[in-house]
Structure 1
Amino acid sequence: MTRAPAITTARLRLRGHVLSDMDAFEAFHATSRAAFVGRPENRTHLWYGFASEVGSWDLMGHGGWAIEDRDGQLIGQVAITRPPHFPETEIGWTLLDHAEGRGYAFEAASAALTWAWDNEFETLVSYIHPENARSIALAERLGAAHDPNAALPDGETADETLVYRHSPDTDGSPEAYA
């Protein structure tokens, strides 16, 4: 079984999910903060999504990481995934309420991008709702650029999804400074 590799940053630890993480994400999806992410219809659908983040490591060699703070408290998720309805591999992030506004999403996403570039991904995208100003700002801070010509996930329109493209040259890869 392939597991998510543990990644440690200055303040965070990215690790594979454990079953108890699902409760925190169920609580998150019950709040208005989940307005811009695919909200599961019920606990069974949450399970399908959660299990796909874990199982993607075995099937595709990438997937979701739980984000923990230095005290070991779950604070969110960062994931590199490509479900069947995505035309490209995406990097996405979610922070739980208590972790917002501390730079954790940037730190976790930067670590995941470094992992992706070290594992020979050539590009990643972030699919973001046009009204999700915080995720747009984070994608831009990470060096991503809006790509209006990129294909959208099946069934989505430009009115509901923007595509931000991440590339190693702009996301802090050592090649950017050569």
Structure 2
Amino acid sequence: MSFTELPVPSLETERLVMRSWQEQDFECLKSIFCHEETARYVGGARSEHMVWRQMATIIGHWHMRGFTVFAVERKDDGKTIGYAGPWYPLEWPEPEIGYALIPEAQGKGYAFEAVLAALGYVYDELGWETAISVIERENEGSRSLAKRLRAHLVGDIILPERPPAEIWRHLSPTAFKEQFGSRVVASISD
């Protein structure tokens, strides 16, 4: 059994392929969402059944919004290590760039690389004029990444069934290109 291929473009960076979701990516999502430590900043641990529903939500998001987070795969071994990209759930104040990686992929610069590619994509291809990231206050790793991306804290947000979080505003498309233009090396294919 396989999923119907969606017309989701693929992004390629130096070390990553960001692509549409495949059934085998469920294992990666289980590694993120089924364990309290890895899921604590993405809504908490849930059952495999609920992770399956989360995957369906991610895929369905493309049909409803015209974008969704990409499955992030390492080029060197083809392993799916997480997700990154545009996301806009009902309760969010505006579209965001979200991400999560499996533990073994954290701390290696993959998130920075993937989020740079995602920001370049939403600005250049989707025409976004702004983007945020919603980050729980205790998530020092994501706060550090937001600062590295030159995002700035603009306020707090209370979301249903979630701990208090912060809204971090990313650079405008023009400022992003000025700051990171030469570092955004994603190529896009359909």
Q: Percent identity?
A: 32
Alignment correspondent of 2:129: 122
Residue 57 of structure 2 is aligned to residue 64 of structure 1: no
Q: Name whichever of 15-24 and 101-110 sits farther off.
A: 15-24
Q: TM-score if structure 2 supplies the norm length?
A: 0.82
Alignment correspondent of 2:51: 46
The answer to whether the Cα contact below 8 Å between 2:6 and 2:20 also exists between their aligned partners in 1 is no
How far did 1:94 drift? 0.6
How far did 1:167 drift? 3.0
Alignment correspondent of 2:113: 107
Matches of 2:39 and 2:138, distance apart in 1: 13
State the aligned residue count. 174
> Which of 70, 75, 79 is 2:81 aligned to?
75
Q: TM-score if structure 1 supplies the norm length?
A: 0.87
Alignment correspondent of 2:188: none
The answer to whether the Cα contact below 8 Å between 1:168 and 1:175 also exists between their aligned partners in 2 is no
Matches of 1:140 and 1:20, distance apart in 2: 33
How far did 1:174 drift? 4.7
**AA aligned opposite 1:73:** K
Report the secondary structure of 1:68's partner residue. strand
Alignment correspondent of 1:35: 40
Q: Name whichever of 133-142 and 55-64 sits farther off.
A: 55-64
How far did 1:90 drift? 1.3
Q: CA RMSD in A?
A: 2.3
**AA aligned opposite 2:121:** W
Report the secondary structure of 1:85's partner residue. coil
Residue 176 to residue 97, structure 1, CA distance change in 2 (3 Å):
closer
> Which of 20, 23, 27 is 2:27 aligned to?
23
How far did 1:79 drift? 2.7
The answer to whether the Cα contact below 8 Å between 1:126 and 1:165 also exists between their aligned partners in 2 is yes
Q: Name whichever of 87-96 and 22-31 sits farther off.
A: 22-31
Deviations 1:86-121 (A, max 9, x none): 121111111111111110000000000000100211
Gaps (5+ residues) in structure 1?
none
Residue 88 to residue 20, structure 1, CA distance change in 2 (3 Å):
same
Residue 35 to residue 175, structure 1, CA distance change in 2 (3 Å):
closer
The answer to whether the Cα contact below 8 Å between 2:137 and 2:166 also exists between their aligned partners in 1 is yes
Which runs of at least 4 in structure 1 moved beyond 6 Å after TM superposition?
Answer: none
Higher relative contact order, chain-length normalized (CA < 8 Å, sep 6+): 2
Residue 173 of structure 2 is aligned to residue 166 of structure 1: no
Deviations 1:39-83 (A, max 9, x none): 353223212221121121122111011111112111111031111
